[in-house]
Amino acid sequence: MNNIQSDKISFKIDEDSFREIYNLYWDKVFSVCYSNLGETEPAKGMVQEIFKSLWERKDELEINQSVERYLVRSAKFKVFEYIRNKKIREQHLDQIVSSQVTSLNYTENEVMLSSLRERLSVLIEKLPNQCRKVFRMSREQGLSNKEIASDLLISERAVEYHISKAVSSLKSNLTEYSF
């Protein structure tokens, strides 16, 4: 079995050589995995996967380097793969949580907006006739104070008064929406 430890020797793995490789290098492979992860159970699992793969591929696998170097490289690759997959899983979970929160907030916001629109509509209808006309022309039609004054044959100062009165009335009746 001395051939297993030497550099750049090609050999096939049989049951005896596998047992020897396992006994010689299990601690070293575990050490590489654990030192990079800091977690015992995942490190043990990786070591088992590495040796399981080595055994399953024993008939086709030819190691053309030192066994130790091969196993250490395998361990580093497993650690990298584990960290990459863990990060991907965390990103997916973050996206799922984010989309659910956004969806919940969106639904809640839509309900609140619908409620606000209904309440606003009722309150606008309760405004005095001239005040309601001026407010709608300003806010719904987007007309300037000068245009409203011209259309209704009133002064711009009167337009400002009606808008101010309407906004004040709406604010005082919509306190539950905290503006």
Give first-to-last CA distance, the chain, whole Å: 81
Question: CB-based burial of residue 31 (10 Å sphere; 0-12 exposed, 13-18 middle, 19+ buried)?
Answer: middle
Q: What is the pLDDT of residue 104?
A: 62
User: 111, 104 in Cβ contact below 8 A?
Assistant: no
Confidence of residue 11 (pLDDT cuts 50, 70, 90): low
Q: What is the pLDDT of residue 64?
A: 66
Residue 45 to residue 24: CA distance in whole angstroms: 18
Tens of pLDDT, residues 42-92: 999 999 999 998 888 888 777 666 888 989 999 999 999 988 888 888 887
Whether the pLDDT of residue 9 is over 50: the answer is: no
Tens of pLDDT, residues 88-143: 888 877 777 776 666 666 777 788 888 888 888 899 999 999 999 999 999 888 89
3-state class of 63 per DSSP? strand
| pTM for this predicted structure | 0.48
Q: What is the pLDDT of residue 150?
A: 92
Residue 151 to residue 153: CA distance in whole angstroms: 6
Tens of pLDDT, residues 135-179: 999 988 889 999 999 999 999 999 999 999 999 998 888 887 765
Spell out the domains of the chain, with CATH numbers in brackets. Answer: 2-85 (1.10.1740.10), 127-177 (1.10.10.10)
